Amino acid sequence: MTLRAPHQQPAPAAGRYTRRSVLTGAFALATAAALPVAAAGRAYSAAGPDIIACATWGARAASEPVVVLANRPERIVVHHTATANVTDYTKQRAFALARAIQTYHMDAQGWIDTGQHFTVSRGAFVMEGRHSSLAELRTGTRQVRAAHCVGQNTVSIGIENEGTYTSETPPAAQYAALADLCAHICDQYGLPASEIYGHRDFNATSCPGDRLYALLPTLRKDVATRLGTPLSEPEEDPVWDLVRQATGRPAATLGEYLPAGLLR
Ligand SMILES: [Zn+2]
């Protein structure tokens, strides 16, 4: 099931959202001064967060060469790993998580490598998932074909967040690392912050959990702040609003009983 959420905007031409261009605007400067840059008090770095490469956390080789696609991703899809909400925030735990996910995806799921492009541990370590995701992110023009969200694996960047966020929210440091990573991905690929979604927006799944899913509007705003761009307002969609008010159902479930194509 693929529904386009009401806040979804057409992707801009790459480069429109470069930091240099927006920071020359008086509005952007005023906005940057008025809003905190990062919830945890850390300044967002233009160079992006440290992303730990596959070789560093001890990845196995992929079982066959990963496929590099010549198109930019159109959006980011946020996941949770549905693993325990551990309080071991060490790098060693993060590396063990990355290896465990890869083993599960390759040996149980039969995939060629880790499914997602990037992983954020509860201790806020950001790691490369599928091989070459980091190198292609640095190009700003290509992406690696992934296996994280049916229908989105050639057009989106998948980020797994360690934990289960059905009834708990992520630790502040993990959330800040996720926001930093999203901002860096948006910056590299010329994506607006409005193009951040949850797995459940596209597939029949509870992922990334009710609590993390409910944080996505805040995440979009925080990413926009990091990019120095005001978040574009969603287009008015009176049909969508009426249906949601009448049913009280979240957007991701509407497709169960509405004609396909009514909501786009
Ligand atoms: Zn997911």
- What is the pLDDT tens value at each position of the chain, 264 positions in all? 333 343 333 434 443 344 433 333 333 334 433 334 444 445 667 678 999 999 999 999 999 999 999 999 999 999 999 999 999 999 999 999 999 999 999 999 999 999 999 999 999 999 999 999 999 999 999 999 999 999 999 999 999 999 999 999 999 999 999 999 999 999 999 999 999 999 999 999 999 999 999 999 999 999 999 999 977 655 555 665 565 556 554 454 444 444 445 444
Residue 129's pLDDT is 98
Tell the residue number behind the tokens 């529904």, with chain if given: 3
CA 149 / ligand 1 centre spacing (Å): 7
CA 88 / ligand 1 centre spacing (Å): 22
CA 78 / ligand 1 centre spacing (Å): 7
Cβ–Cβ < 8 Å for 212, 93: no
Residue 174's pLDDT is 98
Residue 47's pLDDT is 75
Residue 213's pLDDT is 98
Q: How many other CB atoms are there within 10 angstroms of residue 38's CB atom? A: 18
Cβ–Cβ < 8 Å for 223, 179: yes
CA 21 / ligand 1 centre spacing (Å): 34
Domain residue ranges of the chain, discontinuous segments joined by +: 19-233, 236-264
Tell the residue number behind the tokens 């009710």, with chain if given: 210
Distance of CA 41 to the CA centre of its chain: 21
Calpha distance 198→179 (Å, rounded): 14
Residue 187's pLDDT is 97
Residue 43's pLDDT is 61
Cβ–Cβ < 8 Å for 9, 194: yes
CA 80 / ligand 1 centre spacing (Å): 6
Residue 85's pLDDT is 98
CA 207 / ligand 1 centre spacing (Å): 5
In three state form, how does the secondary structure of 228-255 look? Answer: CCCCCCCCCCHHHHHHHHHHCCCHHHHH
Nearest to 116 by CA among 191, 66, 71: 66
Calpha distance 246→254 (Å, rounded): 11
How are strands ordered across the β-sheet holding 156-161?
51-52, 126-128, 118-120, 156-161, 75-80, 196-198
Residue 40's pLDDT is 41
CA 247 / ligand 1 centre spacing (Å): 25
Residue 24's pLDDT is 36
* CATH superfamily, with its number, for domain 19-233: Peptidoglycan recognition protein-like (3.40.80.10)
Calpha distance 259→239 (Å, rounded): 13
| pTM for this predicted structure | 0.75
Residue 45's pLDDT is 72
CA 79 / ligand 1 centre spacing (Å): 4
Q: How many other CB atoms are there within 10 angstroms of residue 159's CB atom? A: 24
Cβ–Cβ < 8 Å for 5, 251: yes
Residue 106's pLDDT is 98
CA 117 / ligand 1 centre spacing (Å): 12
Token pair for residue 75?
Answer: 């959006």
Calpha distance 202→133 (Å, rounded): 22
Looking at the DSSP bridge assignments, the partners of residue 157 are: 76
Token pair for residue 218?
Answer: 């805040």
Distance of CA 3 to the CA centre of its chain: 17
